Amino acid sequence: MPTTRTLASDEHLLDGSYDGPVAVRGPLRRLLLWLAPAYLVLFALWGAVPGILLALQVERLDPAEKVGNLALVTTAGALVSILTQPVAGLISDRTRSRHGRRAPWMVAGTAAGGVLMVVLGSQHTLLGLLLGWVGVSIAYNLAQAPLTAILPDRIPRLARGSFSAVTGMGMLVGMLAGQFLASSLADAVLLAYLVLAAACLVVFTLFTWRNPDRSSAEEPREPFSLRTFARTYWVSPRQHPDFAWGFAGRMLLNLAYYVVAGGYLLYVLADYIDLGSDRAAATIPLLTLAGAPGAVLATVLAGPLSDRWDRRKIFVGVAGLLFAGAMVAPLVSPTVTGMVVAYAVGAFGYGVFQSVDSVLMSEVLPNKQTFGKDLGIVNMTITLPQTLAPALAGGIVLVAGYAWLFPTAIVLALLGAAAVVPIKSVR
């Protein structure tokens, strides 16, 4: 049996290539502890801006047209995110610097994003909001793509469940914290933008300083070609079916989440639960508190357990079933209590999913030389649902009403859980 090795004495193991047991100590533990706040501040931004801050700005421009206008703005930003993520990953894959491949773009993206957040928070026209959100989306995706590549780059396989638990917790708590912050500062939107922008810039800068990567300055680089660029958005399902199934499952489960808890949460509370705009904004912190304990518990337990049992698919399947079950509550009981139950159970299920699914995807990546680009494609499973959800949810609301959002989420979650079953290379 291989012996457990520590990274305090084996620095070379901090590159993701080691496949044996490993203790999370030394530089690896420091990396683990810094990844949590990095994911938290980034996903606080994603949780706060499209679902609440932009929704408030759009509603104040034209309350009668808020549903269609919000769909227009968020869809534009998400479409740009879809295009940016793989390109950002490809650029970081090919970056050669003494600071490594990922760090320069993480800092540059959050710096540019900070400036654009201030611009976005100052807009008072629909066109200004649309262009501002597009710019913010590009900047922060330039930072997110290299951040996600750290998992396969630098984390040994049998430690990835623990790392994914931490990053998954950061994502979920960040989303909830972002919603809490945005709703608390509903009357001071620009201040909310400033807080989020400053937090991202400070944390990402400190992250790259405290966790320096190896220099990539001397690494060989494949000559750039149009063929290389054309492959940026494509991984062949025929050649890599496990990647394709993982991609499908991840996209469906994220779409299930964003259809309900994405851009229309404020309007669901205001119009479906019949709270009105002011009470709806004040209710979001309650939902945050209802979801946070389950999200934290799920991410803390699921990732390490998946490492211990060396199983990934069962966790993703259970997560989909839990989330689908949670969506029954507000469908049956369109009340604040129904939404609280949905958030409590749904956050637990989604926490299991976030904790383990990123590990599953890291184990079906086609080529270690293109981790950044391939994970950019994987990250489309977040941005693509953000694109589709506003259009899908808006169409459902306009045609059939808010109640039909919940059956839609149930079906999507069940399909997402089923999609991981055919994966053969991961247990």
The closest alpha carbon to 165, from 367, 24, 344, belongs to: 24
Q: How confident is the model at residue 285 (pLDDT cuts 50, 70, 90)?
A: confident
CA proximity to 118, closest of 201, 177, 203: 201
What pLDDT is stored for residue 305 in this prediction?
A: 85
Classified as helix, coil or strand, 216 is coil
Query: For 104-146, what is each residue's pLDDT tens digit?
Result: 999 999 999 999 999 999 999 999 999 999 999 999 999 998 8
3 belongs to a structural domain: no
Eight-class DSSP state of 232: G
3 has a pLDDT exceeding 50 = no
The predicted model scores a pTM of 0.71
Q: Is residue 59 part of a domain?
A: yes
Q: Strand (E) positions, 17-134? A: 22-23
pLDDT at 13 over 60: no
* pLDDT reading at 420 higher than 80: yes
Cα angle 54-55-60, degrees, rounded to a multiple of 5 = 100
Find residue 23's DSSP bridge partners.
6
Position with higher pLDDT, 184 vs 94: 184
Structural domain contains residue 176: yes
* Model pLDDT, residue 9: 38
- Tell me the average pLDDT of the chain: 82
Across the range 419-426, mean pLDDT stands at 87
Question: Tell me, what's the pLDDT at 345?
Answer: 93
Where in the sequence is the domain holding 152, given as residue range(s)? 23-217+225-419
Higher pLDDT, 200 or 347: 200
313 found inside a domain: yes
Q: Which DSSP string do the residues of 1-31 spell out, in sequence order?
A: -PPPEETTT-GGGTTS---S-EE--HHHHHH
Please report the pLDDT score of residue 410 as a whole number.
94
Segment 47-68 mean pLDDT: 88
- Tally the domains of the chain: 1
Whole-angstrom CA distances from 4 to 11, 304, 362, 379 are: 14, 16, 22, 32
CATH number for the domain spanning 399: value is 1.20.1250.20
Tell me whether residue 13 is in a domain: no
- What is the reported pLDDT for 8? 39
Q: What is the model's pLDDT at position 227?
A: 62
Classify residue 232: in a domain, yes or no: yes
The answer to the question of residue 49 being in a domain is yes
Residue 15 maps to a domain: no
